[in-house]
C-alpha cells in the first residue's frame, strides 16, 4: 500500500493499513438519515485500496448512479495497540487528517433494506480520499477541531469534533477492544450533517481548519 504523507515530512514510511469507519456519531446526521444514535458506535471497514490523495479523482463506478460525500475527521494510529484504556489511547496515535467516506448511497440503501453489509457501497476504488497527516503534537485538542467540506466552492458540511457523540479517546478505545489497531491504521470518525450527492465534474475541497486541505474532483469510469 502507499504511504501516508505527513505535513512537513514528519514521518516518511507509514503504509496505510486498515480503515475503520464509524457511523451515526453525530446527532444531526443520524437525524437526517432517519436513524437513531446507538448506545455503542456502529463500525464498518473500508479497504485500504479505496484510498486516494490530494488532487486525485473520485471515480463514479458503473455500478452506482448516486454517490454521496461524507467529510470526516481521521485518526492515524502510530503504534500497535489492543484493548486500550481510554486515558492512554492518544499515546498510540500518530496524527490526524481530513478524509471523505464516499458512499454509493443507492447501493447502501438496498443493503440497509435487506440487512446486508455496507461493504460494496463503501468499498469501491477511490472512495476514500485523504489529506496529509498532521502530527499529534500540532493538534493539542482533537476534540475541538473545526472541519468542513465545500462542493464547487459552496459549503455543504461544517462541524467541529466537539459535536461527536463519543470523544476521540472513547472511539479509539472502543475499536481497540474489538480489533488490534496497528501502525498505519486509520479511523474515520463519522460524518456530521449535510451529506449530499456528488456528480461528474464536481470539485470537493475539505479542510481541517488551520491545519490542512484536501481537494479532489469527480469523474466517471470510462466505458
**At closest approach, how far in Å is the CB of 135 from Mg ion?**
24
Cα 98 from chain centroid (whole Å): 7
Q: Which helix (H) or strand (E) holds 68?
A: strand 67-69
**Whose Cβ is closer to Mg ion: residue 118's or residue 211's?**
118
Residue 100's CB: how many other CB atoms inside 10 A? 28
Indicate which single residue of 191, 204, 207, 211 sits in contact with Mg ion (rule: CB under 5 A): 191
**At closest approach, how far in Å is the CB of 21 from Mg ion?**
6
**Whose Cβ is closer to Mg ion: residue 128's or residue 133's?**
128
Footprint on residues 69-108 left by Mg ion (CB under 5 A): 70, 101
Q: What letter would DSSP give residue 36?
A: P
Q: Which stretch binds Mg ion (CB under 5 A): 3-11, 38-46, 184-192, 203-211?
A: 184-192
**Whose Cβ is closer to Mg ion: residue 10's or residue 100's?**
100
**At closest approach, how far in Å is the CB of 78 from Mg ion?**
23
**Whose Cβ is closer to Mg ion: residue 11's or residue 20's?**
20
Nearest to 211, CA basis, from 156, 158, 151, 140 = 140
Q: Which helix (H) or strand (E) holds 97?
A: strand 93-100
The Cα-based distances of 183 to 11, 17, 82, 140, 206 in angstroms read 12, 7, 12, 21, 25
Nearest residue to Mg ion by CB is 101
Residues in contact with Mg ion by the rule CB under 5 A = 70, 101, 191
Amino acid at each position: 500500500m502507499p504511504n501516508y504523507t505527513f505535513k512537513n515530512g514528519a514521518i516518511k514510511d507509514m503504509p496505510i493499513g486498515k480503515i475503520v469507519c464509524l457511523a451515526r456519531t453525530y446527532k444531526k446526521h443520524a437525524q437526517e438519515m432517519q436513524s437513531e444514535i446507538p448506545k455503542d458506535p456502529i463500525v464498518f471497514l473500508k479497504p485500504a485500496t479505496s484510498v486516494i490523495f490530494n488532487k486525485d479523482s473520485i471515480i463514479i463506478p458503473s455500478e452506482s448512479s448516486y454517490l454521496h460525500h461524507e467529510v470526516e475527521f481521521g485518526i492515524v494510529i502510530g503504534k500497535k495497540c489492543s484493548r486500550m484504556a481510554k486515558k492512554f489511547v492518544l499515546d498510540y496515535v500518530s496524527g490526524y487528517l481530513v478524509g471523505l467516506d464516499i458512499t454509493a448511497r443507492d447501493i447502501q440503501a438496498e443493503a440497509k433494506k435487506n440487512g446486508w453489509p455496507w461493504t460494496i457501497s463503501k468499498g469501491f476504488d477511490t472512495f476514500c480520499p485523504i489529506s496529509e497527516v498532521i502530527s499529534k503534537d500540532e493538534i493539542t485538542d482533537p476534540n475541538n477541531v473545526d472541519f468542513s467540506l465545500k462542493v464547487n466552492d459552496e459549503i455543504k458540511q461544517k462541524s467541529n469534533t466537539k459535536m461527536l457523540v463519543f470523544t476521540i479517546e472513547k472511539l479509539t478505545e472502543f475499536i481497540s477492544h474489538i480489533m488490534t489497531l496497528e501502525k498505519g491504521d486509520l479511523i474515520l470518525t463519522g460524518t456530521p450533517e449535510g451529506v449530499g450527492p456528488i456528480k461528474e465534474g464536481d470539485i470537493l475541497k475539505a479542510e481541517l481548519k488551520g491545519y490542512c486541505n484536501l481537494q479532489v474532483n469527480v469523474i466517471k469510469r470510462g466505458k
